[in-house]
Amino acid sequence: MIGRHSLELALPGASIGAVAGAMAGGLTLLAGQSAGLAALSALALAAPLALFGGLYGVLLGRGVFRPGTFGPAGLYWMAAYPLSRLFQESVAGVGLADGVLPFLGFQAMVSLGFAIGFIWLHERLMPHWLLHRAGDNPHAAELLDHYVRHAQILSRRKGARR
Amino acid sequence: MDTSKPPVAASPPVEDERVWKAGRLEPMPIRKLPDAPPSVHILGPTVFLVALGVGMGESYMWPRLVLLFGPEIRWLFLIGVTLQAVVMLEMARYAMATGESIFSGAARVFKPLMWFFFIVAIAVYIWPGHLSAGAAAFEEITGVPWVATAVVGLILVGMIFSLTKVIYSVLEKVLSLLIGVLVISTSVVASLVGSWSDVVSTITGMFAFGYLPPEAMSAAWFPVIVGACAFAGPSGMQQMWYTLHLRDSGAGMGVHIPRIRGLRHAGEEEAMPSRGFMFDTEDPAEMAKWKGWRRWVTFDALLLFWGITMLVTISFTVIAQAAVRQNPAVRTAVQGDDREVALGAMSDAVSSVGSSVLGMIFLGFIALIGLNATLGLFDSFSRGQADMTYNFVKGAKKLRMSHLYAGFLWGVIIFGILILLFGPADGPSGILDTLAFLSTFAMGAYCVTLLLVNNRMLPKPIRPRWWTNVIIGFGAFFYLGMLFYSLFAFGVVVG
């Protein structure tokens, strides 16, 4: 079972997912729809993206992903993003004009872009959050240690500057 | 390698005594190459090149050409961006091997070559034109007059860069955040409005090599295509400035060069050496580290630079295609010369797909891209001019690099404000278009410079391979050939 400590690592990824989903997904579908339906649409994209974003953080804490590397995270989002969009379309969409497979194919391609942006922002937010939580959370301390080792190698390099 | 030792050879050779002679300028002392970053880490100085490169070419010029001539025209974009990725790797080769900028490399080959770039930079980049598109988009959203936004933006940029301690770190943080937001939101919007067939036609269009419809070969459109090719990826001198960012981020031998500080902290700056350094290319351990650095920068070039530039253009093209499907009048609107009208039409059409809010988001992207480009451009211009002035103007070393940087920064800001307030009042587009010829010419010229610098100023083991030289040579032919063909065949420079 995933404990509280692991869940804390999910926060940065979940926030990025939620904000990205709500920002673009919600606003896009405002037109001509009731506020309730628009909110449902935003929620229907934000919720799965937040879930998968958070799961990424948890898996990062367990060593499944390595900080800052793109390949595995790209594959992860190639599956997770189309599923999130499919969920949104089935809950609050207007129907898939092209059929499910072309829809998923298109979403999978776009997802690589989403993955780059996600990792990019996650790498910015996660270390700050870990610094905040490392005192009480051994998982966070462990992951922070990974980031610190990386930063130390970089700073040793910069320390060589005269 | 061609190193020379001092005449007294009684004691065993000490690393510090050896030098690498490159051209007629001061030889470079041999120093240790630092270790390459331990993992292929996603964030590097490429963030600047991406910020500068993803601009009007990706968000406007290419989507517009696709609407006019069909997705097949994108084969030229593929060539342009791929060429720029190779140029980036070659720029990085000299900067990482020496810690010098490409401008210093050019001066080692032939000093007037460097002065040529010094003058072109001033001629092209002191005009505040690049601010106009973003500020005009901001005006569409908020109603705030674009001149006011542009002036306030200019002053803010100057203050930020003057007050911060280490300019590179702050700029990297801000640009990273902006690009992250841009990449995520462009992807999400494209995923909402686009379809499989849009993206398939956009991508297959990239491989229609040689496609040029008859109407493209006209005085009205060929110059526009030349301009768009020059704006595929970083344009003008942006690649040359990238070498300064590499150096300031401590990549490769850049680690031996101090960083530039903001004006308020200029007193803390270490003395800037007047030349770069070289590592021992005959030492296998050093060469192994060099390979690590090359892997690092290649990853940056392929995934970050090539990948993000492609992604943003494909997304914008998909958005534009969706827009035309909804509202065919957009095609007519983008045929006109007026960029604001065309952007407005694209925004309206995007609105009709989703909502007026989506049109706002589209304009918001344009404003965001404009802000990215402005932050990056002002910093890079000042950095480049300060670098050349410090190293090659007599007496300039009495000042600190940070003072020169601040001088150029505020010079370009004040000039920009004066032009915006009292300059040619023919609207934003008018300013941007005058830069096109010199900007494209500089790109052909830097390809030639790169060939000379990397093949003559670097030790043999780290010189480029023959096929890289062929690609860069093709680059010179591509930019200069198209530019002069347009000039002689149609009598128009660049559109």
Establish if B183 touches chain A: CB-CB under 8 angstroms: yes
User: What is the nearest CA distance from A30 to chain B, expressed in angstroms?
Assistant: 6
- Read off the pLDDT band of A5 (50, 70, 90): confident
Segment B215-256, tens digit of pLDDT: 888 888 888 888 888 888 887 888 898 898 888 878 889 888
Cβ atoms of B369 and B125 within 8 Å: the answer is no
Contacts of A97 in chain B (CB under 8 A): 195
What is the DSSP annotation of B43-81?
-STHHHHHHHHSSHIIIIIHHHHHHHH-GGGGHHHHHHH
User: Bridge-partner residues for A24, per DSSP?
Assistant: none
Neighbours of B297 (CB within 10 A): 24
Query: How many contacts (CB atoms, under 8 Å) link A and B?
Result: 153
Using CA atoms, how far apart are residues A162 and A139, in angstroms rounded to an integer? 37
Segment B150-164, tens digit of pLDDT: 888 888 888 877 776
Mean pLDDT confidence for B284-288: 93
Across the interface, whether the CB atoms of A98 and B197 are under 8 A apart is answered yes
Dihedral Cα B411, B417, B419, B421, nearest 10 deg: -160
Q: Which two tokens stand for residue B336?
A: 């006109």
Domain edges within chain A: 4-159
Compute the C-alpha angle A106/A110/A113, nearest 5°: 165
Mean pLDDT is lowest, of A14-28, B117-131, B239-253, B355-369, for B355-369
pLDDT above 90 coverage of chain B, percent? 22
How high is the mean pLDDT of chain B?
A: 79
Q: Is the pLDDT of residue B359 over 70?
A: no
Q: Is the pLDDT of residue B208 over 80?
A: yes
pLDDT attached to residue A13? 92
Residues 304-333 of B with CB under 8 A from A: 304, 307-308, 311-312, 315
Q: Is the pLDDT of residue A121 over 50?
A: yes
Report ipTM (2 d.p.).
0.85
Q: Is the pLDDT of residue B306 over 90?
A: no
- Read off the pLDDT band of A133 (50, 70, 90): confident
Mean pLDDT confidence for B134-147: 77
Mean pLDDT confidence for B268-288: 84
pLDDT attached to residue B494? 63
Mean pLDDT is lowest, of B139-143, B170-174, B215-219, B427-431, for B427-431
pLDDT attached to residue B108? 94
pLDDT above 70 coverage of chain A, percent? 80
Segment A24-54, tens digit of pLDDT: 655 555 445 566 777 787 888 899 999 999 9
Residue B30: exposure state from Cβ atoms within 10 A (0-12, 13-18, ≥19): buried
Mean pLDDT confidence for B415-441: 67
Mean pLDDT is lowest, of A116-130, B118-132, B399-413, for B118-132
Using CA atoms, how far apart are residues B54 and B179, in angstroms rounded to an integer? 9
Contacts of A27 in chain B (CB under 8 A): 354-355, 357-358, 361
User: What is the nearest CA distance from A162 to chain B, expressed in angstroms?
Assistant: 6
Q: Which residue of A has its CA nearest to B299?
A: A70
Mean pLDDT confidence for B354-364: 64
**Helical pair B356-392 and B129-142, crossing angle rounded to 10 deg:** 160
Q: Is the pLDDT of residue B140 over 60?
A: yes
Across the interface, whether the CB atoms of A162 and B256 are under 8 A apart is answered yes
Backbone angles phi, psi at B19, to 5 degrees: -135, 160
Residues 99-158 of A with CB under 8 A from B: 102-103, 105-107, 109-114, 116-121, 123-124, 150, 153-154, 157-158
pLDDT attached to residue B427? 41
Across the interface, whether the CB atoms of B308 and A116 are under 8 A apart is answered yes
SS3 of chain B: helix, strand, coil, percent, to 5: 75, 0, 25
Across the interface, whether the CB atoms of A68 and B179 are under 8 A apart is answered no
pTM of full prediction above 0.90: no
Domain edges within chain B: 46-490
Residues 4-63 of A with CB under 8 A from B: 16, 20-21, 23-25, 27-32, 45
Contacts of B177 in chain A (CB under 8 A): 121, 124
pLDDT attached to residue B14? 47
- Read off the pLDDT band of B288 (50, 70, 90): very high
Q: Which residue of A has its CA nearest to B192?
A: A25
- Read off the pLDDT band of B66 (50, 70, 90): confident
User: What is the nearest CA distance from A35 to chain B, expressed in angstroms?
Assistant: 13
Using CA atoms, how far apart are residues B400 and B269, in angstroms rounded to an integer? 8
Name which residue leads in pLDDT, A155 or B253: B253
Segment B2-54, tens digit of pLDDT: 444 334 334 444 455 788 888 888 899 999 998 887 654 545 556 666 666 66
Spelled out in words, what is the top-level CATH class assigned to the domain B46-490? mainly alpha
Using CA atoms, how far apart are residues B7 and B5, in angstroms rounded to an integer? 6
Residues 452-491 of B with CB under 8 A from A: none
Mean pLDDT is lowest, of B187-191, B195-199, B354-358, B471-475, for B354-358
Segment B330-348, tens digit of pLDDT: 777 777 666 666 667 666 6
Residues 49-68 of B with CB under 8 A from A: none
Instruction: Out of A45, A109, A153, name the one closest to residue B199 (CB).
Output: A109
pLDDT above 70 coverage of chain B, percent? 76
Establish if B43 touches chain A: CB-CB under 8 angstroms: yes
Contacts of B259 in chain A (CB under 8 A): 161
Which of B33, B189, B192, B253 is the mutation pick for testing A, counting most A CBs within 10 A? B192
Across the interface, whether the CB atoms of B185 and A20 are under 8 A apart is answered yes
Segment A63-86, tens digit of pLDDT: 888 776 777 888 999 999 999 999
Contacts of A158 in chain B (CB under 8 A): 250, 255
